[in-house]
């Protein structure tokens, strides 16, 4: 019996190359298969690195859910993301929030205490008068909601990135697609 190659460690637990390859294979069988890069190319290797990112972020969230006493296998998943949400959070965080059933509950726990001040709402309204043809009192609830959502997105993204950095060790060949240490790194942040 041969030992499985480890792609990453998440809190000391191995994510195997076989699991990563199974994730890539599932994508290649899915509805977006025609849009994926051809196997054996630099872009295909970066797709595999992307899959490792998503899988390790999901593992971090599953571990966090357990630590917070949340159900790690909830029945439903009702996270709706807009394009703006995805842009604010970044690709991996948005992908995981949209696809991992425990992510919304963990996010809500992480951002539960965010409060938007009255002065922040007023300042936003005053600076963006071109967006509001209504009175301040009428615009207030929508502005407060948008500012809270933006603050929650920032907090959750930073929290998740920090937890990922603390919890995950990526093995050579499975680095982030933008990591300049590997030859296939073609995009920059």
Whose structure tokens read 């907090």? Answer: 155
Indicate the number of domains in the chain. 1
Please check whether residue 85 lies inside any domain of the structure. yes
Give the residue-averaged pLDDT of 40-49. Answer: 89
**77-131 pLDDT, tens digit each:** 555 655 565 566 667 888 888 888 899 999 999 999 999 999 999 999 999 999 9
**127-139 pLDDT, tens digit each:** 999 999 999 999 9
Please check whether residue 82 lies inside any domain of the structure. yes
pTM for the complete prediction? 0.84
Half-sphere CA count of 103, side-chain side, radius 13 A: 25
Give the separation between CA 67 and CA 73, rounded to whole angstroms. Answer: 14
Please check whether residue 80 lies inside any domain of the structure. yes
Please check whether residue 33 lies inside any domain of the structure. yes
Please check whether residue 36 lies inside any domain of the structure. yes
Please check whether residue 79 lies inside any domain of the structure. yes
Please check whether residue 138 lies inside any domain of the structure. no
Please check whether residue 13 lies inside any domain of the structure. yes
Domain extent, residue 48, equals 6-110+160-170
DSSP reduced 3-state for 10: strand
Half-sphere CA count of 133, side-chain side, radius 13 A: 0
Give the separation between CA 84 and CA 12, rounded to whole angstroms. Answer: 35
């Amino acid at each position: 019996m041969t030992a499985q190659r480890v792609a990453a460690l998440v809190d000391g637990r191995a994510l195997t190359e076989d699991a990563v390859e199974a994730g890539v294979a599932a994508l290649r069988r899915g509805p977006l298969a025609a849009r994926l890069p051809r196997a054996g190319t630099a872009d295909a290797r970066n797709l595999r690195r992307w899959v490792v990112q998503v899988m390790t972020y999901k593992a971090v969230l599953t571990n966090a859910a357990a630590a917070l006493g949340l159900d790690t296998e909830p029945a439903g998943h009702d996270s709706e993301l807009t394009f703006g949400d995805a842009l604010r959070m970044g690709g991996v965080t948005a992908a995981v929030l949209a696809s991992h059933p425990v992510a919304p509950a963990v996010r809500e726990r992480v951002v539960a205490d965010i409060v938007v001040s009255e002065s922040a709402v007023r300042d936003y309204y005053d600076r963006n008068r071109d967006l509001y043809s209504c009175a301040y009192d009428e615009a207030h609830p929508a502005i407060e909601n948008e500012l809270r959502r933006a603050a929650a997105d920032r907090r959750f993204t930073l929290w998740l990135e920090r937890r990922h950095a603390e919890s995950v060790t990526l093995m050579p060949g499975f680095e982030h697609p933008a990591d300049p240490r590997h030859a296939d790194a073609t995009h920059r942040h």
